[in-house]
Chain A
């Protein structure tokens, strides 16, 4: 036990002398939360529209004015020239080209069906999908206006939808993102800093002097991991305060539950850091492997894209992703107010994950080389 204290003392002194690292540890939560919390958004606004109006009638002008009144669309240009419209689409000046055909008004007045044609730049699939949906809504709305005008009575479609958004009723995007970003913050500290810290001793050779002492494996490992456990908790706490003060996040669930889960989670991810350090020899190698894992973990975590929309095999892969469980947990507890019985499985899975990884890492950690 006393040996561990000496190792801890050494680690804390070394960390505190590393000015750059201390700076990063303080600045990182602000940077990540504030920039990502505000900037990362899936909402699509101000799509640029090019309108090819072949009809130039009062009906077509009505439709155009409906588009220009919508916050989702910006009328960039309009003409009766196809070529110009599609040139703008190719150049990226327009996100969407809408063509109103000849005889648009005449067909409508005569009670015949007519079409408007939408061409959407689908390089960004999310943007294209949402643009299409918004345009549809506007055209539908316009159609019912026309029926009203013709029949002289206000009619509405037989089924309407009224809705309310649960757990995030104003649909504030940051409310959804911030718990996830907190997870990334905690994970980065635990995986990267731990792996690099241990490998550094291998790289500069100081581990040899330790390996020739009677220090026990577990003393060394605990001495190495504990400081980063504390730092990760510190980062989580700063993050929670920022989330509350800057993003007005209401914590529906218990913070004690959040901290308890974080403890179990850190046990698991510190194990990943330790494991990486046992299979690498230089900080560069460790960094590369940690990044490789991290990028996959983030993209498969449900932070940006819902796991439900992934193919089945990919959904299976996410079962092995600790970040996914923590993000799910944070959203459930912080936003929905879930309690322990709701997240019991998360606890169990991450605990098993931690035991497996740490066993593997400790087994792979060698004081005596072959």
Chain B
């Protein structure tokens, strides 16, 4: 693993254009090691596009991004080895069993065969899904699917994990459990990069950025942001920013 300094994600003037449309406009920010970094924005603000560039799924039009010590444009495969990613759209295999999905990704990340078995057991235990190991993923309720997707994204213990709207569409109880998983991962030293629609979730983040029309309009701890905008919750911060006040 390559060593990196204080920042595990360093973004400098990152831009993505699709024809004339600028989806991500010259953004720069850094994410500290071990942070829970909230990445907020309205629909179409450019969050997913930015995240796809950071995970090596999409090549940037210009600018730089260093993730886990590797340049996303020059060494996308090295980046991929060191990150976990959970897509906005559920993307595990519905026609594979719970354990088969974990085994597949553990295998792709080159975890040795013996360790894979242990890994499957510990993951299922942590998720409380021991009884569901033989169930087809397609038969699980959405909340369980999302938790499983998070666990699979972390199967190789990456230093940084990207979660794209992990809690959209799940019930409040599962949402809470999900954030408990995020806190636990953070306590274990993993950096988490989370996009969300739910502004109450922004309060749980170490630091939060807010994107409007492809640009980052604000970036600080939730406390400081509320002070700066003279409001008492993140919802109002967001509304003020989105309306351009």
Contact = CB atoms under 8 A, between A and B. Distances in A.
A10 B56 contact: no
B209 to A, nearest CB: 21
Contacts of A215: 108
A12 B166 CA distance: 30
A212 B96 contact: no
Contact of B57 (A6, A7, A18, A368): A368
B242 interface: no
Interface stretch (B82-90, B118-126, B225-233): B82-90
A368 B58 contact: yes
B105 A368 contact: no
A125 interface: no
Interface in B119-170: 152
Given A3-B107, A211-B57, A369-B59, A10 B76 contact: no
A208 B87 contact: yes
A17 B100 CA distance: 13
B3 interface: no
B188 interface: no
A214 interface: yes
Interface in B15-56: 52, 55-56
B105 A213 contact: yes
Contacts of A211: 57
B86 to A, nearest CB: 8
B91 A13 contact: no
Contact of B96 (A5, A13, A208, A367): A13
Contact of B95 (A3, A6, A18, A212): A18
From A204, A212, A370, residue with most partner B Cβ within 10 Å:
A212
A14 interface: yes
A207 B108 CA distance: 13
Interface in A9-31: 9-10, 13-14, 17-18
Contacts of A207: 91
A214 B57 contact: no
B207 interface: no
Contacts of A6: 103-104, 107-108
B77 A10 contact: no
Contacts of B108: 3, 6-7, 210, 213-215
A249 B105 CA distance: 48
Interface residues of B, number: 31
A167 to B, nearest CB: 48
Given A10-B93, A214-B109, A368 B59 contact: yes
Contacts of B110: 2-3
A16 to B, nearest CB: 10
Nearest to B101: A10
Given A10-B104, A211-B57, A206 B91 contact: yes
Contacts of B103: 6
A151 interface: no
Contacts of B152: 209
Given A2-B107, A369-B57, A369-B59, A205 B91 contact: yes
B100 A208 contact: no
A367 B57 CA distance: 7
Contacts of A14: 93, 95-96
B114 to A, nearest CB: 13
B59 A212 contact: no
B81 interface: yes
Contacts of A10: 93, 96, 100, 104
Interface residues of A, number: 28
B70 to A, nearest CB: 11
Contact of A205 (B58, B89, B95, B100): B89
B92 A206 contact: yes
Contacts of A370: 58-59
A330 to B, nearest CB: 36
Contacts of B91: 204-209
A86 B106 CA distance: 78
From A18, A215, A368, residue with most partner B Cβ within 10 Å:
A368
Nearest to A211: B57
A17 B97 CA distance: 11
Contact of A213 (B93, B94, B95, B109): B109
B92 A212 contact: no
A292 B8 CA distance: 50
Contact of B92 (A13, A17, A209, A369): A209
Contact of B56 (A2, A204, A209, A368): A368
Contacts of A209: 85, 87, 91-92, 105, 152
Nearest to B86: A209
Nearest to A207: B91
B12 to A, nearest CB: 19
B80 A212 contact: yes
Interface string B49-74: 00010011111000000000000000
Contacts of A3: 107-108, 110
Interface in A316-370: 367-370
A185 to B, nearest CB: 26
13 contacts: A10-B100, A13-B96, A204-B94, A206-B91, A206-B92, A206-B93, A208-B57, A209-B92, A209-B152, A212-B55, A212-B56, A368-B56, A368-B59
7 tightest A-B contacts by CB? A6-B107, A209-B91, A212-B85, A214-B81, A205-B89, A214-B80, A205-B91
Given A5-B107, A208-B87, A214-B77, 8 more contacts: A3-B110, A14-B96, A204-B94, A212-B55, A212-B83, A213-B105, A214-B81, A368-B76
